[in-house]
Amino acid sequence: TGSKQLTVFDTEEELAVSLAKYTAGLSDKFTRERGAFTVVLSGGSLIKALRKLTESPYLDSVEWSKWHVFWVDERVVKKDHPDSNYKLALDGFLSKVPVPPNQIYAINDTLPPEGAADDYEARLKQLVWDHVIKVVPTSGLPCFDLMLLGMGPDGHVASLFPGHPLLKETQKWVTHITDSPKPPPERITFTFPIINASAYVAMVVTGSGKAGAVHKALSGGENTGYTDRLPVEMVELDQGEFTWFTDKAAVSM
């Protein structure tokens, strides 16, 4: 199994500085090793936490032309809708850095949601075939270089919510959910097998609203009032390196 690390910053500002350095470091490593860097984004506060990458020195030093950008989850709305994770990432991050537009893989917003999930999975398979995304030889699963994840106050990651049957999905890489407790209810999401096949995962969690779920995840669930395993606790990398990026408020319990 993979390794785990916890980093705690005094402020969100310091976290953002460190996250930029970490991401740029992995970009250099994979660009050197394989001539490509596959990055998976989530929605929410994560995008703002990436802001330092759009500034000096990273704006000029990162090999943006080698980036291939994906989404771990998306809301079933049009790409220009205020709820769209694609729009959030484009406005807050991707429009400010020179990643080639044809290497930004948005989830198709013109298909019905089930079809869009299948379409995204098929595109991932094609990119594995084309050696853009690495593959885990033993399982055939895609191995993304870096997944940048957030966690909700209830311990959800991607659109995988506590107690939801999708937590047990083993076959599909990408699937569709119609009953998300966080609005909007219809979403498309990666499943645990492909999250856990990643080479690196950064779990970016700030603020006191997350302290309960962080406590449960870090303490193995004792005396926290939660009964079931939280989705965030199911991020157990097969081989990769998992790093928590938190601030003091998030670990205050």
Q: Which stretch binds ligand 6PG (CB under 6 A): 36-44, 168-176, 211-219, 224-232?
A: 36-44
Residue of 73, 109, 118, 247 interacting with ligand 6PG (CB under 6 A): 73
Shortest distance in whole angstroms from residue 52 CB to ligand 6PG: 17
Residue type, 54: T
Q: Is 42 a binder of ligand 6PG (CB under 6 A)?
A: yes
To the nearest whole angstrom, how small is the minimum distance from the Cβ of residue 189 to ligand 6PG? 8
Considering the complex, state which of residue 128 and residue 188 has its C-beta at the smaller distance from ligand 6PG.
188
Exactly one of 27, 38, 84, 85 binds ligand 6PG (CB under 6 A); which one?
A: 85
DSSP-assigned states of every residue in 29-83 = HHHHHHS-EEEEE-STTHHHHTGGGGSTTHHHHS-GGGEEEEESEEESS-TTSTT
Is the CB of residue 135 less than 8 Å from the CB of residue 198? no
Report whether 215 contacts 6 (CB < 8 A): no
Using CB under 6 A, which of 39, 158, 197, 214 touches ligand 6PG?
Answer: 158
Per the document, the length of the chain is: 253
Give the position of tokens 């980036």: 67
Of 26, 133, 147, 151, the one binding ligand 6PG by CB under 6 A: 151
CA nearest neighbour of 96 among 63, 54, 52, 136: 54
Give the residues across from 74 on adjacent strands: 188
Tell whether residue 152 is a contact of ligand 6PG (CB under 6 A). Answer: yes
Interface characters, 186-225, with ligand 6PG (x: CB under 6 A): ----------------------------------------
Cis ω for the linkage preceding 153 (within 30 of 0): no
Token couple for 232: 């965030």
Does 45 engage in binding with ligand 6PG (CB under 6 A)?
A: yes
Q: Does 150 bind ligand 6PG (CB under 6 A)?
A: yes
E strand residue ranges, 65-169? 67-71, 73-75, 134-135, 142-143, 146-150
The secondary structure of residue 191, as a DSSP letter, is -
Does 162 interact with ligand 6PG (rule: CB under 6 A)? no
Residue closer to ligand 6PG by CB (options 12, 73) is: 73
Q: Which range, of 25-33, 99-107, 146-154, 218-226, touches ligand 6PG by CB under 6 A? A: 146-154
What phi, psi does 220 have (nearest 5°)? 75, 15
**Binding-site ranges for ligand 6PG (CB under 6 A):** 42-46, 73, 75, 85, 150-152, 156-158, 182
